[in-house]
Amino acid sequence: IIPIDPALDKSAPEGKRATSYIPLYEWQELKLFVWSFEKVLKNVKTDKGLQLRIMMIVYCHIFEADFPFAVIWNLLRALKGLPESWIFTRKNKKGNLDVCEYPSQKIPEIQNLSNEQGLKVGDILHSLWSADLRNNFSHSQYSITDDAIFFTKDISPISRRPLEGMPHGKAELKNQDLKKYYNGACTLIDVFDQEYLSIYKKATLQNKSLEVT
């Protein structure tokens, strides 16, 4: 649960590990980001459009974070008897390791490990994740109405593939469903933070062989 820097770990003194606080700094910034926008949301209750836009920003920012997924993945690896790895990877069809950069790559790997252990954490993450919301927001391919957010990638003549193809329907996310995704993501942050701090304190008290870098 404490990030190890593999580049520095090789040169750490015997019996020590080279840990890095950089991921923890990122995590702290993410929490402050989320909490700051929660305050903003309380002050713009009359502007529904602004509320929805803020929720999309915060939701996507939470799920783009590396740290929570890496910790959960490593805890599941430990339960399976696998060594720690702070480079999130998965095996491709050829049996080679690919680095997982995106939530849509990481969450299925977590879900597979979780299911193997008979745990629910993978299914919970899967239920909180919307690839359509993340992708359409990140590429500015959406339009907000009074009732829903329309995902426009497949109906825009600019972005749909093939370009000369006919529009094949429009995906949408109801505004109330966005709120559910947003609330779920914020709850994930809060629960993870509480559990991580508890485990972190126990780990640092029990393990004196950490070389902090």
Write the CA distances from 155 to 134, 139, 152, 159, 173, integer angstroms. 17, 14, 5, 8, 15
Separation CA 34–CA 19 (nearest Å)? 26
Record the tokens describing residue 178, joined without a space. Answer: 């966005």
With 0.85 as the threshold, say if the pTM is over it. Answer: yes
> Domain residue spans in the chain?
6-128+178-212
| pLDDT tens track, the chain, 213 positions | 788 888 887 888 887 888 888 999 999 999 999 999 999 999 998 999 999 999 999 999 999 999 999 999 999 999 999 999 999 999 998 989 999 999 999 999 999 999 999 999 999 999 999 999 999 999 999 999 999 999 998 888 888 887 676 666 668 999 999 999 999 999 999 999 999 998 888 776 665 544 444
